[in-house]
Amino acid sequence: MHVSVPAVPPVSRWAALPAFPEIRTNAIAGLVAGVIALPLSIALAVAIGVPPIVGLYTAVFAGAAASIFGGSRFNITGPTAALVPLLSHVVLVHGAAALPMVGLMSGVILLVMSRLRFGSLVRYMPGTVIIGFTAGIALSIIFGQINTFLAVSGTDPKLEHFHAKSWDTIQHLGSVGWTTPLVGLASLAVLIWSPRLLPKVPSALIAVVLITALAWGFGIDTPTLASKYGDLPREFPTPSFGFWDTGLFITLLRPAIAIAILGGVESLLSAVVADGMVSDRVRHDSNRELRGQGIANLVGPIFGAMPATAAIARTAASIRAGATSRMAGVFHSLTVLTLTLVLGPLAGHIPMTTLAAVLFVVAWRIAEVPEVTNLLRRAPREDLIVLASTMFITLFFDLTYAIGFGVLASTILLVRRLSRVPAAAALLPDQTGRIAQVSPELSDLIQSRPDIDFFTAQGLLSFHSASAFEYQLQGDMQRPLILRMKDVRHIDTSGLLSLEGIIEHRRNHGVRIILTSIQPEIRPLLERFGILELLGPGNVFEHTKCAIASIDHPGYVPEKDEGEAA
């Protein structure tokens, strides 16, 4: 038999290309994001302790790779303030040469996280932990830039912890002149007031351009990028794996894991924020975003970049400028590359104190001070303890420990709260004479059978509630028990063992136990564990009223006759 297939007209290979208006819109959005990224990339590299070109290469190469391969159409990737404490530690302990290696390692870890589909797990990161370590990072950045802002000299650059660095700064305040602090204060004033006067122009760009022009034009004596790092190179970097040092692999593994986790969290939070800013119903792919960030951190180090992650502020600015696709991220990288090659020699005149002022403002913004203040007024005391502890551990010790402590503390508090919820409750009438958990018809039927114990299992039958569940159901051994499982959505091994113990205990006493209304997702677990076989088919019912009908009435007859009862 011959079946004719209608001819399909050939599709032009150009049909999938975006239209020119879309390209233009995303080019403008990328230009805006790139202009914002230029001074921030320089400032963040300096904050870590590496030449400014490292931050620019990160925005160019890691930024482009993440936009092309990532799971968010809007994320703008590059150097971020969130990674500053971790990367500063690596540079301080192992030197700037270790930065590409730890970035490459974190990229591999991100790819593994993507493969294991860890993207969906980030949504379970407690909000108080995220706010706590973000506030701790902000404080670390602010205190870490005080020496640069004031041009304090004579301090020990090997000091790492907050208290040691702060005490060292206090001891050397006598070395501060008046010129650099005034330039820094002027930079802060421009950063604070320029958004009110020129809201569409990035305040960091205004401050850097204006203060650099004034300091250079009037010959103000203050440390600059060139005086510390020399002129920016203007040539394209040569790809290289020469940074790899096998001897450092084990030493850098822990910071690489921390960088990957924090980078993944930051990137996915940025993607969530981006989704909320657009009306399009298409949302980001969290696991693909982890993969994109992993590729970005594999590509970047080969070109001399440091670890990167998505930047929430730059992503939001790109969306406000009209970004509709991942092209905006690519144009952002091209903008930073072009400005670096064209304006590289002029960047050497930027005062270091101006970059410190830029980081002060960035830190203030990422600290989310209004949200922290609101939490301090309204959040439960236990959550405040987690928030404050995470923040201070980040500040005084290590971000890795802070995240671990925060997640552990939040988990303990959650288990503690869950353990306060009764694992099972007796079906008894309330003040209105009705049993609230069931329908009126079933309520009347249950109350007509005082010879049966009725209980309903609630929520999670897990390790946190297993002992309480067992204690509640092993009370009266005189009457049969009907246990409704309608509200049970999860049961683990501890819950299954408790249920098995209850059944065996009642059977040893010759008392019948019946399960009803078992949820479809719970039934296979009960079958595999042998619970249903232990009960027997006559003790498992879909409906509670059928279970009641299966129990013979003991012939309970009131003393009064029917006339008196009426």
- Residue 473 tokens, joined: 């159901």
**Which pLDDT tens digits describe the chain residue by residue (566 residues)?**
444 444 444 444 444 567 888 899 999 999 989 988 988 999 999 989 899 999 999 999 999 999 999 999 999 999 998 898 889 989 999 999 999 999 999 999 999 999 998 887 766 677 777 788 788 888 888 888 899 999 998 888 777 777 788 888 899 898 889 999 999 999 999 999 998 888 888 888 899 999 999 999 999 999 998 888 888 887 788 899 999 999 999 999 999 998 998 899 889 888 988 888 887 777 889 999 999 999 999 999 999 999 999 988 899 889 988 899 999 999 999 999 998 888 877 888 999 999 999 989 888 887 778 778 877 787 788 788 888 888 888 888 776 677 778 778 877 777 777 666 666 777 878 778 888 778 888 888 888 888 888 888 877 777 766 666 776 676 667 788 888 888 887 888 888 888 888 888 888 888 888 999 888 888 998 988 888 988 888 899 988 889 888 888 765 444 544 443 33
Q: How far apart are CA 162 and CA 166, in angstroms?
A: 6
136 near 391, Cβ under 8 Å?
yes
Q: What is the pTM of this model?
A: 0.71
Alpha-carbon Rg for the chain, nearest whole angstrom, is 32
Nearest residue to 553 via CA among 476, 479, 485, 484: 479
User: HEC states along 262-308?
Assistant: HHHHHHHHHHHHHHHHCCCCCCCCHHHHHHHHHHHHHHHHHCCCCCC
The angle at the Cα of 119, spanning 411 to 90, to the nearest 5 degrees, equals 80
Which residue do the tokens 């204690």 mark?
Answer: 471
CA 351 to chain centroid: 34
Q: Indicate the DSSP class of residue 325.
A: S
The type of residue at 402 is: A
Cα atoms in the 13 Å half-sphere on the side-chain side of 76: 36
Beta strands in 210-345 (DSSP E): 309-310
205 near 39, Cβ under 8 Å?
yes
What pLDDT does residue 123 have?
64
User: HEC states along 145-174?
Assistant: CHHHHHCCCCCCCCCCCHHHHHHHHHHCHH
Torsion of CA 144, 149, 155, 157, to 10 degrees: 50
Nearest residue to 152 via CA among 133, 132, 180: 180
What pLDDT does residue 563 have?
42
Q: How far apart are CA 532 and CA 555, in angstroms?
A: 30
Q: How far apart are CA 100 and CA 390, in angstroms?
A: 28
- Residue 141 tokens, joined: 């950045």
Nearest residue to 239 via CA among 342, 109, 104: 104
What is the fold, at CATH topology level, of the domain defined by 424-549? Answer: Transcription Regulator spoIIAA (3.30.750)
Task: For residue 259, give the 3-state DSSP assignment.
Answer: helix
Residues 6+ apart with CB under 8 A from 469: 423, 424, 457, 461, 495, 498, 499, 502
The type of residue at 245 is: D
**Domain positions in the chain:** 27-386, 424-549
What pLDDT does residue 419 have?
65
Nearest residue to 51 via CA among 204, 302, 232: 232
Nearest residue to 457 via CA among 434, 437, 478: 437
